């Protein structure tokens, strides 16, 4: 019996423990957002089960409950952490953005719709409209109203603009417009056919009481509009279009509240009650962001062809405000209204005029609505410096930034982001009526520098106001408390088998230039201590030691926290492979930084000369280093061709001198001939042989001249050809001359 009980307990315990483990894992993977209230409830229920289960041993009971209870606490903390976002009310930035986005070119609006959007935004933001713009727009309005061709939509926009600008419109024009609008209601089919005339008639009613704008058959019109509503609270644009839209719901609400105002008789109370139900149903479809903002989404294109949550939400807010002002209170929770306000404020400053109008108009509606007016808690600064003794300031305003009713702000809880536990305090903030800010005089005890989430609660002084204003319970804001962290006992050592080889103290943050040297059998040890202003130990997010080799290869190490101090030991024996066996100079650099640390630093420490073993064959090569882009693209060095040097030649003078010398033998030859006494006595005397002799020598001269010409300009072929002719001629005349000379000499011999 006892045995089976114990095994059952073990089994149950095992299941619960597994559940807890799964929870822990999912927690790690997905963070706090994964868990919603359902998980929380399940867990709470399980704790209860464990405590009630018929397990005998109270010790086991207690242990299980403790484990689950811890999980419960963590989840509670997490569910609170998720919504830590600050929303700021409308500010000066919106005004300058409005002026920029609605800057009117050529002093005139392009359409009355655009004119209304601009003027409405200006009105809410309290920006003056220029008089000349006013005049030109009013003229446009009057033209539209008096023109017979304008339809209900034009008339509606014209009346809207004139209600803002207070244009002077003749009673006749108003009466004409009213009758035309009334006519168009009669044969209206779609939602927008109702919307424009009803809106227009309301505006006429506001401007003058002398024109009859009331419907005789208000109830009937009301019913025909109501016929377009859907079961989920959304509306259709027309009866033959089955698709429903959230934007249309806002339009319908606005139209119906207009019809209620314009009806002379009473509308059926049941109808209004079903309508109120529809509104509540509509709010069941609301979407939620993580930061607590609520919005409506719309799949359909809205009337102006502008799609998106902003226009849909804005339309619903407008409709809701109009409806609540005519038909009294609506049962809508204040946090949803606050969520809607947060949605519009969370957008920031939209980038186009239409979106800005949607945002500002919706916020203006929320500011004055009858359901509940949202109050926004904002912080001028959520980074608080303890060294500069800054104080935490909180401002509570309405969405448009006007002052809130008398109230007090309490700091309820402080969550530390590191430890997930919440300390519960109730500290009221001091109100400064002059600046309308609530100031926290002193930080709660135990709040050191770091990241926190503060939970504030707004308490309205007048209990009556609780029905009018939505404060949204606790508002969580992230707070960063920063300060100067002191660095002590910074040391760097080179160790060899646990005996200190070299030790250098460092000045952090400050200038250091240590020069160390180590081989692969030694170790490098670096340590320092960090203390917060409250003398607690501080654990920064970033504590890194970087070693950079001359070649640019970098190695980074996380400086670990050993409880008392930050230290790191680099055992080079185990790191040689990681260092790619690169010996040489390594620059050391230590970085300590944290969001809460005002004196985060990046400090070069000096260098260490490492003597590592030689690179083995199979070692991995260091990764390639990035090339400086500037050097990659610069112009290349110029290249000029080196020409072959000119052949070496003697100076010209020498050539001329030798030319002269070459002629010396010729002169010697002449001189010798003169000395020998040469004569021409043998020259034939008779005419014929003399002629042949002259021709013969002329021929020789011609051959020599031919040679000279060949040298100067003639080519080989011409030369040989000419030489052939001249040679034949020379043979002939030479033969005659020589035979004549031979015969003369044989005559002389014989005689």
Chosen residue from 37, 629, 687, 716 binding another protein by CB under 8 A: 629
Closest approach, Cβ 384 to another protein, in A, equals: 9
Chosen residue from 185, 597, 608, 733 binding another protein by CB under 8 A: 597
Residues 6 or more apart in contact with residue 224 via CB below 8 angstroms:
188, 194
Residue 433 sits in the site that holds another protein (CB under 8 A): no
Give the whole-angstrom CA distance, residue 722 versus residue 737: 22
Span from 68-76, 114-122, 305-313, 366-374 in contact with another protein (CB under 8 A) = 305-313
Q: At what angle do helices 191-207 and 171-186 cross, to 10 degrees?
A: 150
Chosen residue from 69, 176, 309, 405 binding another protein by CB under 8 A: 309
Bond preceding residue 509 cis, omega within 30 of 0:
yes
| Between 256 and 547, CB nearer to another protein | 547
Strands 373-378 and 287-288: unpaired
Span from 113-121, 144-152, 158-166, 638-646 in contact with another protein (CB under 8 A) = 638-646
For the chain, give the number of residues: 751
Chosen residue from 8, 21, 73, 93 binding another protein by CB under 8 A: 93
Residue 673 sits in the site that holds another protein (CB under 8 A): yes
- State the CB neighbour count (10 A cutoff) for residue 631: 7
Closest approach, Cβ 386 to another protein, in A, equals: 13
In the window 642-661, what residues touch another protein (CB under 8 A)?
643-644, 649-650, 652, 655-656, 658-659, 661
In the window 675-694, what residues touch another protein (CB under 8 A)?
676, 678-683, 693
Long-range contacts for 379-382 (Cβ within 8 Å, ≥24 apart)?
379/86, 379/477, 380/437, 382/86, 382/477, 382/478, 382/479, 382/480
| Between 2 and 28, CB nearer to another protein | 28
Residue 455: which H helix or E strand, with range? strand 450-460
Sign for the CA dihedral angle at 407, 375, 328, 216 comes to: positive
Residue 307 sits in the site that holds another protein (CB under 8 A): yes
Of 155, 157, 162, 122, the residue nearest 361 (C-alpha): 122
Chosen residue from 333, 478, 509, 606 binding another protein by CB under 8 A: 478
| Between 490 and 559, CB nearer to another protein | 559
Give the whole-angstrom CA distance, residue 342 versus residue 336: 9
Residue 426 sits in the site that holds another protein (CB under 8 A): no
In the window 497-536, what residues touch another protein (CB under 8 A)?
none
Give the whole-angstrom CA distance, residue 274 versus residue 259: 16
Closest approach, Cβ 493 to another protein, in A, equals: 21
Three-class SS state of 648: coil
Contact of 608 with 588, CB cutoff 8 Å: yes
Closest approach, Cβ 480 to another protein, in A, equals: 3
Chosen residue from 69, 333, 509, 593 binding another protein by CB under 8 A: 593
Residue 29 sits in the site that holds another protein (CB under 8 A): no
Three-class SS state of 269: helix
Span from 233-241, 331-339, 460-468, 674-682 in contact with another protein (CB under 8 A) = 674-682
Give the whole-angstrom CA distance, residue 475 versus residue 472: 7
Chosen residue from 168, 511, 618, 632 binding another protein by CB under 8 A: 632
In the window 256-285, what residues touch another protein (CB under 8 A)?
none
Span from 18-26, 116-124, 170-178, 624-632 in contact with another protein (CB under 8 A) = 624-632
Residue 662 sits in the site that holds another protein (CB under 8 A): yes
In the window 691-710, what residues touch another protein (CB under 8 A)?
693, 697, 700-701, 704, 707-708
Closest approach, Cβ 704 to another protein, in A, equals: 5
Give the whole-angstrom CA distance, residue 329 versus residue 371: 6
Closest approach, Cβ 597 to another protein, in A, equals: 7
Give the whole-angstrom CA distance, residue 356 versus residue 365: 14
Tokens of 487: 């660095």
Size of residue set near another protein by CB under 8 A: 94
In the window 532-561, what residues touch another protein (CB under 8 A)?
539, 541-544, 546, 554, 556-558
Tokens of 492: 């760097």
Residue 565 sits in the site that holds another protein (CB under 8 A): no
User: Alpha-carbon dihedral of residues 732, 735, 740, 744, nearest 10 degrees?
Assistant: 170
Residue 636 sits in the site that holds another protein (CB under 8 A): yes
Residue 305 sits in the site that holds another protein (CB under 8 A): no
| Between 78 and 159, CB nearer to another protein | 78
Chosen residue from 172, 380, 446, 473 binding another protein by CB under 8 A: 380
| Between 135 and 554, CB nearer to another protein | 554
Distance of CA 411 to the CA centre of its chain: 35
Cα R_g (the chain), whole angstroms: 53
Of 52, 18, 22, the residue nearest 35 (C-alpha): 22
| Between 88 and 190, CB nearer to another protein | 88
Closest approach, Cβ 712 to another protein, in A, equals: 9
Chosen residue from 618, 639, 675, 750 binding another protein by CB under 8 A: 639
Q: What is the DSSP string of 186-254?
A: HT--SHHHHHHHHHHHHHHHHH-SSS---BSSHHHHHHHHHTTB-TTS-EESSTT---EEHHHHHHHHH
Span from 180-188, 276-284, 478-486, 506-514 in contact with another protein (CB under 8 A) = 478-486
| Between 47 and 605, CB nearer to another protein | 605
Closest approach, Cβ 147 to another protein, in A, equals: 34
Give the whole-angstrom CA distance, residue 521 versus residue 613: 10
């Amino acid at each position: 019996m006892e045995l089976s009980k114990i095994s059952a307990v073990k089994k149950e315990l095992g299941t619960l423990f597994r559940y807890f483990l799964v929870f822990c894992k999912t927690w790690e993977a997905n963070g706090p957002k994964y868990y919603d209230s359902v998980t929380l409830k399940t867990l709470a229920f399980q704790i209860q089960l464990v405590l009630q289960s018929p397990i005998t041993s109270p010790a086991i009971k207690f242990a299980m409950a403790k484990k689950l209870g811890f999980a419960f606490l963590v989840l509670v903390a997490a569910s609170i952490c998720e919504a830590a976002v600050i929303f700021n009310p409308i500010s000066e930035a919106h005004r300058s953005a409005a002026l920029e986005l609605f800057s009117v070119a050529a002093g005139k609006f392009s359409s009355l719709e655009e004119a209304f959007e601009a003027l409405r935004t200006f009105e809410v933001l309290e920006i003056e409209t220029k008089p000349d713009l006013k005049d030109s727009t009013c003229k446009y309005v009057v033209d539209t109203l008096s023109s017979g061709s304008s339809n209900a939509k034009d008339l509606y926009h014209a009346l809207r603009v004139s209600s803002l600008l207070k244009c002077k419109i003749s009673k006749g024009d108003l009466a004409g417009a009213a009758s035309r609008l009334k006519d168009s209601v009669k044969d209206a089919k779609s939602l927008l056919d109702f919307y424009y005339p009803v809106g227009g008639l309301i505006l006429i009613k506001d401007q003058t009481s002398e024109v009859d704008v009331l419907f005789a058959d208000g109830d009937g019109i009301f019913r025909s509009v109501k016929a377009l509503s859907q079961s989920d609270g959304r509306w259709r644009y027309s009866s033959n279009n089955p698709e429903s839209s959230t934007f249309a719901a806002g339009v319908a609400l606005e139209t119906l509240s207009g019809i209620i105002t314009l009806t002379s008789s009473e509308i059926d109370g049941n109808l209004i009650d079903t309508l109120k139900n529809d509104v509540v149903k509509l709010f069941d479809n609301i979407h939620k962001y993580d930061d607590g903002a609520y919005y409506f989404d719309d799949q359909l294109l809205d009337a102006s062809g502008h799609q998106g949550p902003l226009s849909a939400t804005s339309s619903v807010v407008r409709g809701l405000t109009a409806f609540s002002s005519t038909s009294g209170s609506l049962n809508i929770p204040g946090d949803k209204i606050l969520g809607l306000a947060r949605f519009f404020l969370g957008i920031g400053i939209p980038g186009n005029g239409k979106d800005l109008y949607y945002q500002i108009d919706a916020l203006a509606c929320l500011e004055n609505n009858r359901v509940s007016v949202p109050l926004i808690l904002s912080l001028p600064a959520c980074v608080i410096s303890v060294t500069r003794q800054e104080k935490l300031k909180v401002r509570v305003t309405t969405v448009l930034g006007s002052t809130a009713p008398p109230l007090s702000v309490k700091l309820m809880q402080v969550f530390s982001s590191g430890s997930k536990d919440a300390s519960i305090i109730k500290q009221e903030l001091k109100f400064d009526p002059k600046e309308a800010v609530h100031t926290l005089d002193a930080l709660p005890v135990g709040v050191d520098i770091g990241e926190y989430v503060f939970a504030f609660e707004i308490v309205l002084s007048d209990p009556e106001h609780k029905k009018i204003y939505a404060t949204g319970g606790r508002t969580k804001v992230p707070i960063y408390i920063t300060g100067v962290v002191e660095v002590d006992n910074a040391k760097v050592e080179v160790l060899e088998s646990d005996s200190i080889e070299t030790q250098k103290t460092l000045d952090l943050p400050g200038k250091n230039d240590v020069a160390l040297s180590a081989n692969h059998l030694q170790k490098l040890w670096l340590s320092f201590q960090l203390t917060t202003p409250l003398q607690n130990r501080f654990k920064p997010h970033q504590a890194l030691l970087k070693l950079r080799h001359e070649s640019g290869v970098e190695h980074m190490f996380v400086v670990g926290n050993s409880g008392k101090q930050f230290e790191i030991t680099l055992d080079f024996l185990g790191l040689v492979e990681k260092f790619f066996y690169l010996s040489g100079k390594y620059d050391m650099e230590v970085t300590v930084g944290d969001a809460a640390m005002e004196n985060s630093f990046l400090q070069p420490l000096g260098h260490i000369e490492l003597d590592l073993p030689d690179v083995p064959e199979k070692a991995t090569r260091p990764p390639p280093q990035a090339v400086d882009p500037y050097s990659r693209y610069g112009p290349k060095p110029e290249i000029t061709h080196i020409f072959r040097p000119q052949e070496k030649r003697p100076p010209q003078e020498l050539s001329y001198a030798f030319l002269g010398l070459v002629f010396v033998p010729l002169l010697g030859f002449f001189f010798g001939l003169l000395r020998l006494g040469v004569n021409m006595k043998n020259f034939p005397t008779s005419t014929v042989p003399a002629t042949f002799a002259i021709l013969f020598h002329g021929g020789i001269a011609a051959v020599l001249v031919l040679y000279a010409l060949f040298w100067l300009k003639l080519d080989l072929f011409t030369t040989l050809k000419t030489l052939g002719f001249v040679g034949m001629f020379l043979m002939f005349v030479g033969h005659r001359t020589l035979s004549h000379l031979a015969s003369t000499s044989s005559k002389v011999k014989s005689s």
